[in-house]
Structure 1
């Protein structure tokens, strides 16, 4: 796979499929290539670019002391390096579009925010963010998912830690037959090995606060689903309200795993937003 290097010296590997305008697919807490497999066929007119998040599957020893700025800073630096690398590619004259899910959606927004602050917003065309991993203030004050997952992992129950994450985040704590659902989920059980990173990511999410204004100088499409956790639906609207130029769309009957669960609907909204036919 091609590799680029971020400003802080981290190598970023990525897979590229197809030709056309780059569509950078930023995953959340699950294995990247498996998560986006149902989505990629719906974007034939784009070059799908799937990066491997740097260090994914490793845990910071001081995760409880690691703040969101440090965690997101690493993620944003890697995406900016990838955008630079794609910009130097002469296969397409159009700048990349960032499509992120969950923590990947937060990363996409923060990347656009950093580029905007540096007067480099033109390096990307737009951001599409499905339920950015942000917690409402009232919920964040009592959030303990990372601690609960860490306790299970400390007891040697890696699978249980990831089942808790899926139950609370994907199914909003209402999964009646979680094991049967997981048997049909494309990224399970590969993502079980990523428990440490998902815990680290959740500590960052629990500490992140949405500013009153997200200074993002590119059009942004914020997506959500009616069947995911209420707090993530609320957060998606909070992010939308904080953006100076955004559109909000909610999918009826879709959970937090929206892009892979409803790839055709996701593609339709992105195409309409960008004016692609």
Structure 2
């Protein structure tokens, strides 16, 4: 267990494991660095891995400023610089994938390669008739999640998010301790939704200048919004390539860790 205090006084928790080229793992919304525990040993066998809790998640402090994607990027850049990692590989999923891609755009000197699983850039689907129904349904669901969280209905909001982002019936299948972690992170997710530059509104344009090798992945059993987003991004970003984890969904690093480690490691060391 390790910790740094950021310039604004916020404590950021991280764990180090393994040897090799540096690799930072970025978790998604409603989660923390513990989500990587199934894949961490395999990745640490090939890389110097840093798994950290984003601000207001896990063991990291919340700070006093507003939550934002740009704030997460600034936190990550400071972490990389403060522990002297040099340019890093980044593996990420969901909201964390947006942070990873944004870091590669804003601070390219800190990034080698990016593996991004299912970034929820719903704005990338806006104005595309073939994706209009998918986009409308998902935006309606996220609006309902936000309404529940605004009303203090953290468990109901977390349940709706999980069943929307991962798949219907997922919440009911989770053990009590997993549900408790989702509920714990409900305030942080609500803060993410309040971000004026929320990832749900971002489109392709902010990432057109991304010039680092980018692996975009999605699961063969994932909700259709992620497939559509990755297809749009792969078509628009010249340095991107696509891969499908055929039997997986939104969290292949949890459900199919051996496959995730093999594909991600192979791309990062290519």
Q: 1:82 aligns with which of 68, 76, 79?
A: 79
For 1:233-248, what aligned pairs fall within 5 Å after superposition? 233-248=227-242
CA gap 1:60/1:237 in 2 versus in 1, 3 angstroms = farther
Instruction: Say which of 152, 161, 164 aligns to 2:160.
Output: 164
CA distance in 1, matches of 2:152, 2:266: 47
The two structures have a TM-score, normalised by structure 1, of 0.81
TM-score w.r.t. length of structure 2: 0.82
Task: Verify: 1:126 aligned to 2:119, yes or no.
Answer: no
Question: How far apart are 1:155 and its partner, in Å?
Answer: 4.5
TM-align CA RMSD: 2.9
For residues 96-118 of structure 1, the C-alpha deviation after alignment (integer angstroms, 9 at most, x for no partner) is 211111000111001001123xx
Q: Does 2:250 correspond to 1:256?
A: yes
What are the residue-to-residue correspondences of 1:1-277 with 2, within 5 Å?
Answer: 1-3=2-4, 5=6, 10-43=10-43, 44-56=45-57, 71-86=68-83, 88-89=84-85, 95-116=87-108, 120=109, 123-135=110-122, 136-137=125-126, 138=132, 143-171=139-167, 174-175=168-169, 178-179=171-172, 181-183=173-175, 187-202=178-193, 204-211=198-205, 214-275=208-269
Query: What number of residue pairs does the alignment pair up?
Result: 254
CA contact (8 A) 1:146 1:202 kept: no
Q: Is the 8 A contact 1:219 1:245 kept in 2?
A: yes
Contact 1:30 1:187 in 2 (8 A): no
Q: Is the 8 A contact 2:149 2:190 kept in 1?
A: no
Per the alignment, residue 129 of structure 2 pairs with none
1: CA distance, partners of 2:207 / 2:53: 30
Contact 1:39 1:259 in 2 (8 A): yes
